[in-house]
Structure 1
Amino acid sequence: MGVQSKWLAGLTLVMATGLAHARPAPDDASVYFITPEDGATVSSPVTVRFGLKGMGVAPAGTDKANTGHHHLLIDVDSLPPKGQPIPSDDHHKHFGGGQTETELDLAPGQHTLQLLVGDQNHIPFDPPVVSKKITITVTE
């Protein structure tokens, strides 16, 4: 079963049974941006590199203790509700293959970026393993 199929199967089970629960996060876990830096002025496409400390990165659908995968929140004001899967849309980018970097096409202007680690079913840990929100400016 592929990563996307595992994710859909897990999400279907969570939604159908209401069994969503947040896994405990390791005490020393943290997620952060390697690039870009907060306040940076960049051009599109923007290379974004993710860092993770105190946990391992594993593809979605991988049920292994103290592992998860990255989600990039773009211009988002708040985190998803506790115990609920992270949405998948233009503002919530999933990296369920275990990726640790991406290139984003962003419109000119100011944007906020934040990283959030999810478990095998895209549910944030408890407490959330979330980065500081950074602001970048994209030039034309």
Structure 2
Amino acid sequence: MKNTLIATALVCLAANAAFADGHRSAAPEGAQAYIVSPADGAVVTNPVTIVFGLEGMGVAPANVEVDNTGHHHLLINTDPATLDMDSGLPATDQIVHFGGGQTQVTKELPAGTHNLQLLLGNWSHVPHDPPVMSEVITITVE
């Protein structure tokens, strides 16, 4: 029994590693994420509501593998060039996951200027190929 549990655990670990690393889903041509609001250059107060948009694809929760879908990740003051696009995106204060398929968030941000960008992840949090991301917007929180 103990050997069976160990073998099962190893199979699960291997499966998790396989889906979280290197499984980039193809993005349909023309697919685009965008930030509906706030507008680029907006001066806002807390809490800040950020509304996500997506064109040419659908939204599906994490761990639900459906072609031409994904879920949003909000990059806050994060350059996507610093991310490993072949691995699952880490969850941090600057890379906020919306694995439930959410299309907006109301969030407290520190006072100051912030760059915001959306990056779509597939069912295993890995960016699509090519990446589906929004333009960067800059907001100022008073």
Residue equivalent to 2:68: 66
Residue equivalent to 2:137: 134
Identity %: 49
Q: Secondary structure at the match of 1:15?
A: helix
Return the TM-score normalized by structure 1. 0.86
Q: Quote how far apart the aligned CAs of 1:11 are.
A: 8.8
Size of the alignment, in residue pairs?
130
Contact 1:11 1:121 in 2 (8 A): no
2:84 equivalent among 81, 91, 98 = 81
Which structure shows the bigger proportion of residues in helix conformation? 2
Structure 2 residues without counterparts, runs of 5 or longer: 1-11
Q: CA RMSD in A?
A: 2.0
Residue equivalent to 2:44: 42
Q: Quote how far apart the aligned CAs of 1:18 are.
A: 7.7
Task: Tell me, in whole angstroms, the C-alpha distance in 2 between the residues paired with 1:66 and 1:131.
Answer: 17
Q: Secondary structure at the match of 1:52?
A: strand
Residue equivalent to 2:93: 90
Distance 1:132 1:138, change over 3 A: same
Q: Quote how far apart the aligned CAs of 1:14 are.
A: 4.6
Contact 1:76 1:112 in 2 (8 A): yes
Residue equivalent to 1:109: 112
Q: Quote how far apart the aligned CAs of 1:70 are.
A: 0.4
The amino acid that maps onto 2:94 is H
Return the TM-score normalized by structure 2. 0.85
Distance 1:44 1:22, change over 3 A: same
Task: Tell me, in whole angstroms, the C-alpha distance in 1 between the residues paired with 2:127 and 2:39.
Answer: 24
2:128 equivalent among 116, 125, 134 = 125
Contact 2:32 2:134 in 1 (8 A): yes
Structure 1 residues without counterparts, runs of 5 or longer: 1-9
Q: Quote how far apart the aligned CAs of 1:28 are.
A: 1.9
